[in-house]
Amino acid sequence: MNDFIPFTNEGRGEKMKLVNGFDLMQYAKQKGYILPAFNTTDMEMTYAIAQGLSDAGLPGYIQISSNNLRLSNPKMIAELAADAVRSYDIPVALHLDHGKSFDHVKACLEAGFTSVMIDASHLAYEENIAEVRKAVEYCHFYGIPVEAELGALRGKEEDILHESDAKTDPELVEEFVRRSGCDLLAVSVGNVHGLSIQPDIDLPLLKQISEIAEVPLVLHGGSGIPAEMIRAVRQYGVLKINYGSDLRKEMIRSFGEAYEKDHNAHDVISLSLQAVENVRAKTAELVKMVNCQVSA
């Protein structure tokens, strides 16, 4: 076997392709799974996430935000993700996270993404609805689900700091979902982005929203939410939980530890392979935890 492909899955046969977001959600509902959505930035994290999901034998999403697509482009990420899952037999969808514009949504769809979020939650209510409606009408032509957000999370989403903590107003949920046509609803119920603020999940609010919303709920800011709280939110319509910071920390850790030991550290390949193993292990740990297969 060509020894230049130990890392990629080229030449290892074809088991699974990236699956459609609607199919993944249907599969998870049938099996009673929660779907973690793991944020990638680059080739290494993309393969590590796929390997971790395969190690655990559980489904989920590889996702990338508009902000993180600055390092690559939708086509590159779609090709990497398609190769990363090809030799595994667990269903994985590729999702645009925090899609910043309709143009980004279109570009990702054309590249092969199988699920998208249009994040217009920073706009006024009516504008949020209009932006989501526009993305829905386009994406549904191609059979692709659209996630939207109602409310705003505090915390640091990549390098964007949000101070506002506008919890999702349950009075608006039914109308927002109906008029926007979204297929998943990201809610703000005390979850936060990043690791600098402690999440404080408002379970009664989440329960109230879950009784109103006709679509599955998404919890952003999964990093830092304790396992017992994850077990609690499972009963309130949450189908997708996003994890970014927990994986990014694992990616940086091997380089950070090496640099602390030796400021002349330069063995990029070994540190990169170690970083992949760190992310792979964290992915497997989290996907099992959200499916209550381990007590983390």
Closer residue to ligand G3H in complex, CB, 133/220: 220
| Binders of ligand G3H in range 187-206 (CB under 6 A) | 193-194
Is 97 designated active site? yes
* Single-letter code of the amino acid located at 263: H
In 3D space, the residue among 115, 127, 204, 142 whose CA is nearest the CA of residue 168 turns out to be: 204
- Using CB under 6 A, pick the residue from 21, 24, 25, 39 that binds ligand G3H: 39
Q: Give yes or no for residue 254 binding ligand G3H (CB under 6 A).
A: no
Task: Identify which of residues 246 and 285 has a Cβ nearer to ligand G3H in the complex.
Answer: 246
Q: Is residue 243 a contact residue for ligand G3H (CB under 6 A)? A: yes
Smaller CB separation from Zn ion, 245 or 254: 245
For the chain, the residue count is 296
Q: Considering 42, 55, 97, 267, which one is annotated as catalytic?
A: 97
Bridge-based pairing state of the strands 160-162 and 154-157: antiparallel
Task: Enumerate residues 6+ apart whose C-beta is below 8 A from 175.
Answer: none
Backbone angles phi, psi at 149, to 5 degrees: -125, 135
Amino acid at 40: T
Q: Which region, judged by CB under 6 A, interacts with ligand G3H, from 50-58, 124-132, 204-212, 219-227?
A: 219-227
- Contact residues toward Zn ion (CB under 5 A) are 220
Among 46, 222, 276, 284, binds ligand G3H (CB under 6 A): 222
CA–CA dist 47, 266 (Å, integer) = 22
Residue 181 near ligand G3H by CB under 6 A: no
Beta bridge pairs of residue 96? 64, 116
CB contact set of 270 (below 8 Å; sequence gap of 6+): none
The least CB distance from residue 6 to ligand G3H, in Å, is 30
194 contact choice in Zn ion, ligand G3H, none (CB below 5 to 8 Å, kind-dependent): ligand G3H
221 touching ligand G3H, by CB under 6 A: yes
Which residue spans within 179-237 are E strands per DSSP? 184-187, 192-193, 217-219
What is the contact surface with ligand G3H in residues (CB under 6 A)?
39, 97-98, 193-194, 220-223, 242-246
